[in-house]
Amino acid sequence: MAPAAVKKNRPKYLSLRALLFEIRLPITGWVSILHRISGVLLFFGTLWMLWLLDRSLESEAGFEAVRHYTALGPVKLGLLVLAWAYSHHLCAGIRFLFLDLDRGADRETARRTSVIVFAASFALTAWLGWKLW
Amino acid sequence: MSARVVTGARYGLRDWLAQRITAAIMAVYTLIVLVSVSRWGEPLGYAVWRELFAQGWMRVATLVFAASLAWHLWVGVRDILMDYVKPDGLRLALHALVLLLIAFYLGWTVEILWR
């Protein structure tokens, strides 16, 4: 990289190894890293969703094919994972928007809202799973 | 505060803001979809499903969602690649692949909606 900018030696904790084995994350950290992981899942999941949308709207036969396909066990599991990823990304994202406004940035509130994010995203996932089958 | 050296690069405010605005747009769309999902009484049939996406407002709303998603995906995935992929050439190649995939998503969405 061009050395034009002043080199700053600030610590960065971004290595996957460190995150998995060396650092014990507080619950607020779990909300954060799962926001990132769910984002990656959604990036690739979009391809799958578009395929399902395409097939389901193209014809009645396509719609029925999608219905049978999504009734398969592994497919259901995959859809549930994506539903969780969407729910978590949404709930954690709303929390981050409040943090941007300096709302709930103190430790106690931040931990409480993290618990709320996990509870809300699991509830939303369960509701979606129940509603879609 | 550290002194900032002007390098000609943008400092990310626009992306930061875009990430939040697109998120808000998608949250509103999600709310609309969740409300309509909650109204499904019996098993969803093809006729109802097709009718939903035949309506002009739903097509436009879905297109706005897709455009927001495309921008949101680009900012988000690019940030992740900048964090983890250090070799410049590889990162650039991955950025190009991600942009291609996002363009493909957007094009496919338009094709599905206005077929």
CA distance B104 to A47: 9
Q: Does the distance separating the beta carbons of B46 and A64 come in below 8 Å?
A: yes
* Residue type, position B48, single letter: V
- Which of B71, B19, B14 shows the shortest CA–CA distance to A97? B19
Phi-psi region of A81 (alpha: psi -120 to 50; beta: other; left: phi over 0): alpha
Query: Do B53 and A40 count as a contact with CB atoms less than 8 A apart?
Result: no
Query: What are the phi and psi torsion angles at A32 (to 5°)?
Result: -70, -50
Residue pLDDT, tens place only, A27-53 = 999 999 999 999 999 999 999 999 999
Which residue in A has a C-alpha nearest to residue B104's C-alpha? A47
Question: How far from the centroid of its chain's Cα atoms is residue B84's Cα?
Answer: 22
Letter string b/e over residues A114-124, b meaning 16 or more CB atoms within 10 A of that residue's CB: beebbebbeeb
- Taking one residue from A and the other from B, the number of pairs with CB-CB distance under 8 angstroms is 64
Alpha carbons A86 and A80: distance in angstroms, whole number: 10
Flag whether the ipTM exceeds 0.90. no
Residue type, A49: M
Q: What is the pLDDT of residue B6?
A: 59
What CATH number is attached to the domain comprising B62? 1.20.1300.10
- Report yes or no on B3 lying in a domain: no
Which positions in chain A touch B77 (Cβ < 8 Å)?
39-40, 43
Cβ pair B88:A1 closer than 8 A: yes
Residue B6 lies in a domain: no
- Amino acid occupying residue B15: D
Residues 26-45 in A contacting B (C-alpha not used; CB under 8 Å) = 36, 39-40, 42-43
Q: What is the pLDDT along chain A (133 residues), one digit of tens a residue?
A: 455 566 677 766 667 777 677 778 899 999 999 999 999 999 999 999 999 999 999 999 999 999 999 999 999 999 999 999 999 999 999 999 999 999 999 999 999 999 999 999 999 999 999 987 7
For the domain made up of A26-132, give the CATH fold. 3 helical TM bundles of succinate and fumarate reductases (1.20.1300)
Classify residue B101: in a domain, yes or no. yes
User: How many distinct structural domains can be found in chain B?
Assistant: 1
State phi, psi for A34 to the nearest 5 degrees. Answer: -70, -25
CB atoms closer than 10 angstroms to residue B48: 12
Residue B97 lies in a domain: yes
Domain range spanning residue B40? 13-113
Model-wide pTM > 0.90: no
Map out the domains of chain A as residue ranges.
Answer: 26-132
Contact A6 B73 (CB under 8 A): no
